[in-house]
Structure 1
Amino acid sequence: MKLTTICYIEKDGKTLMLYRNKKKDDIHEGKYVGVGGKFEQGETPEDCVIREVKEETGLTLNSLTYKGLITFPKFKNDEDWYMFLYFSDDFEGNLSEKDLDDCKEGKLIWVDNDKIFDLNMWEGDRLFLNWAKTDKVFSAKIIYNNGKLEDYGVNFLT
């Protein structure tokens, strides 16, 4: 089982997206995703997402909005992945052109919010990004089979 986080960082009508194109054997290669990663020993979800955002972007998150937990059964090598989803528009730091290219995972790009769904992304990301637009926290399951969306379900919590 893998525990992961992802954060969509927003500023001036744009969202910071990561185009994954640098790591060998990257399951996300060629896709646009938010910024995040896997937990380290002893981390809370918030610890993890704050550390990952700092490592990958140099930005310091000041506050987070938790939107939900997504379960991906047998996502990679028959391992279940659990992903904690966050948004933030409260951060410190700036990204220069060099910073945008220097991320070890891929290229960071500020994308107009109305253009995000035009990007090559996981089909399930489109689902949970829409669910995140509600005022409710959710718990979801997104099932892929050989990289293709097979099924999904979501529960909105009160």
Structure 2
Amino acid sequence: MAKLATICYIDNGEELLMLHRNKKPNDVHEGKWISVGGKLEAGETPEECAVREIFEETGLHAHELRMRGMITFPEFTPDNDWYTYVFHVTKFSGELIDCPEGTLAWVPYQKVMDLPTWEGDLIFLEWILTDKPFFSAKFIYQDMELLDHSVVFY
């Protein structure tokens, strides 16, 4: 089954807002530092989903979204292929809230790559931080280990 989701990197010009997934039981992301984001709801555009998920998880209002790419994660969860829209957000307002999914923290660019996360996240996060062109990528995981990836830049 195909699942649609967003990955949203919020950037204050020096740091990225990262989410340490340490609150949800049975979380596939448990213990990892990831971006905020989540599943598209019926009738939502990817942009609408990103704005909603950013607000629900952080309390921040996203004012400008830049879609940076699309990522396919075949069978990332049992019987589910995930298709994700990757956003970079540099204009936002509001105050951070206590996220129900984990601990939010502003992390300096130079330290983000040292956080425990998915191996693939480190690859596409570098594309965002170095302002690579729009991308379409595929990351293949098995038993939570990255087996392979491919990318096309446009």
What is the TM-score of this pair, normalised by structure 2? 0.95
Gaps of 5+ in 1: none
Q: Which runs of 4+ in 1 moved over 2 A?
A: 131-135
Query: Is 1:146 equivalent to 2:146 in the alignment?
Result: no
Equivalent positions of 1:1-158 (< 5 A) are 1-95=2-96, 99=97, 102-132=98-128, 133-157=130-154
Q: Is the 8 A contact 2:13 2:90 kept in 1?
A: no
Q: Work out the CA distance in 1 between the residues paired with 2:61 and 2:81.
A: 29
- Output the amino acid matched with 1:141: K
The SS at the match of 1:36 is coil
Count of residue correspondences: 152
- Output the amino acid matched with 1:30: G
Identity %: 51
Gaps of 5+ in 2: none
What is the TM-score of this pair, normalised by structure 1? 0.93
- Which string of whole-angstrom CA distances, capped at 9 and with x for unpartnered residues, describes residues 11-65 of structure 1? 1401100000111221111101111000111000000000000001110000011
The SS at the match of 2:122 is helix
